[in-house]
Amino acid sequence: MTEERKPWSGRFRENTSPIVDAYTTSLAVDQRFALEDVRGSIAHARMLAHQGIIPAGDAEEILAGLLQIREEIEQGRFTMDERLEDVHMNIETRLTQIVGPAAGRLHTARSRNDQVVTDLKLWLKEAIAESIASLHDLQIALVDLAAENRRVVIPGYTHLQRAQPVLAAHHLLAYFEMFERDIGRLADCYARSDVMPLGSGALAGVPYNIDREMVARELEFGAITANSIDAVSDRDFIAEYMSALAIAMMHISRLAEDIVLWSTTEFGFVDLPDAFATGSSIMPQKKNPDVLELARGRSGKVYGALFGLLTTLKGLPLAYNRDLQEDKEPLFVSHDTVNATLNILADLVSQLQFRQLASRRASGGFLLATDVADYLTMKGMPFREAHGVVGRIVAYCEANKKELRQLSLVDYKRFSDLFEADVLQISVWSSVRSRDVPGGTAPRRVAQSIRRARLILRRREEDA
């Protein structure tokens, strides 16, 4: 390839150095949205012909060539030339090979600056839909697991210390809510990505009688950008998507950590599926939760990609700068990492099994201390006083190596005359049943939450 084939080489006397070509190429990354580039070019060419900006005959040749290129890409027959700068020039060069000089008219009234950001938004809208679908699938797995285990009680924790009994289903549904917020953030991001920049030119607009609304309709954008300088330099939509993914990855990491803990011998609440575990090269008894650990660990990769992009953007003057070429790799890393993790976790969660006996055993000790304090409060004692009384009861139990369930009514009355025989009826099940408030862990409320979650999932599927 000769230097003259570069579209901007007219004012240059020397060729760029080969090491500069290698350093500045973006083809390895941006070839990923080749189909989006063709799609945008098709809409642009149709608009140019409709407005009389290019001859109708040339437009027909251009469109036929672009459709051929699209077919080549879809069938894996399109060859990217590494000597060309980017995906745009590869497609333009191939178009010239197919239709000849008419291909030179396609770039009328556009710049690679507004072309690339249009391609990115087209790609991103599909990526957002894919991420929402992956989150949706994980939610289904969580709701199904919750419904199957709605009578399993486990300790709820604060500070990683056993706190109060909760239904395992209630714990699982907490993650449903987290992922529902993630979907809401992605939906918001979609709305701000659904604004078409094409027609902004390099930065100032274009001196042709273009119809931006026509192109937006064909490309299924909801609106067009209002400022050409902002349009070509804006990467907020990428940062917002990556931010939403980073928060989702934080939720994924927390879920992974809970399952890792639950699957340990010390907890023993769940049985980790063999298909999602690995062994040790030296210790035959080991069953390691590697998938979950990698899910937890890859949150750092997603966070790093986001911080890298924000750092790239933070000092850029308006409008376009070549620094913006560095926006795509972190975007793709975030998207690929999060979606792959969501998909494998959905499979893993769908195969989890709770060990009811182990969780029942873990519900002893002092897990019902708050219930005893609430008992005294309902008998008329101020809660702070009741809290102190039960604290002394717990200290007594520890000194005498007893659990609350082993205390007699005589033992209780040492600490308050308000205790009556019904205190001995306090149990794990009476505890969870008593939390019968909206959002609580009572079986009735959890059943309502499962129904609500299924309704949300069904409505989303109907709207898709």
3-state secondary structure the chain: CCHHHCCCHHHCCCCCCHHHHHHHCCHHHHHHHHHHHHHHHHHHHHHHHHCCCCCHHHHHHHHHHHHHHHHHHHCCCCCCCCCCCCHHHHHHHHHHHHHHHHHHHCCCCCCHHHHHHHHHHHHHHHHHHHHHHHHHHHHHHHHHHHHHCCCCEEEEEECCEEEEEEEHHHHHHHHHHHHHHHHHHHHHHHHHHCEECCCCCCCCCCCCCCCHHHHHHHCCCCEECCCHHHHHHCCHHHHHHHHHHHHHHHHHHHHHHHHHHHCCCCCCCEECCHHHCECCCCCCCCCECHHHHHHHHCHHHHHHHHHHHHHHHCCCCCCCCHHHHHHHHHHHHHHHHHHHHHHHHHHHHHCCEECHHHHHHCCCCCCCHHHHHHHHHHCCCCHHHHHHHHHHHHHHHHHCCCCHHHCCHHHHHCCCCCCCHHHHHCCHHHHHHHCCCCCCCCHHHHHHHHHHHHHHHHHHHHHC
pLDDT of residue 9: 64
Nearest to 123 by CA among 204, 61, 38: 38
Q: What is the pLDDT along the chain (464 residues), one digit of tens a residue?
A: 344 456 666 677 777 777 887 787 888 898 999 999 999 999 999 999 999 999 999 999 999 999 999 999 999 999 999 888 899 999 999 999 999 999 999 999 999 999 999 999 999 999 999 999 999 999 999 999 999 999 999 999 999 999 999 999 999 999 999 999 999 999 999 999 999 999 999 999 999 999 999 999 999 999 999 999 999 999 999 999 999 999 999 999 999 999 999 999 999 999 999 999 999 899 989 999 999 999 999 999 999 999 999 999 999 999 999 999 999 999 999 999 999 999 999 999 999 999 988 888 888 789 999 999 999 999 999 999 999 999 999 999 999 999 999 999 999 999 999 999 999 999 999 999 999 999 999 999 999 999 999 999 999 999 98
Residues marked active site are found at 159, 280
Contact 140, 349 (CB under 8 A): no
Taking the CA of residue 27 as centre, how many other CA atoms within 13 Å lie in the half-sphere pointing to its CB?
17
Sorted by sequence, the CB contacts under 8 Å of residue 217 that are 6+ apart come out as none
Q: Are 194 and 222 in contact (CB under 8 A)?
A: yes
Identify the pLDDT of residue 10: 66
- Residue 361: predicted pLDDT: 84
Q: Is the pTM of this model over 0.75?
A: yes
Per-residue model confidence (pLDDT) at position 5: 55
* 238-to-62, 211, 339, 402 alpha-carbon distances in Å: 31, 26, 16, 58
pLDDT attached to residue 15: 76
CA distance 464 to 461: 5
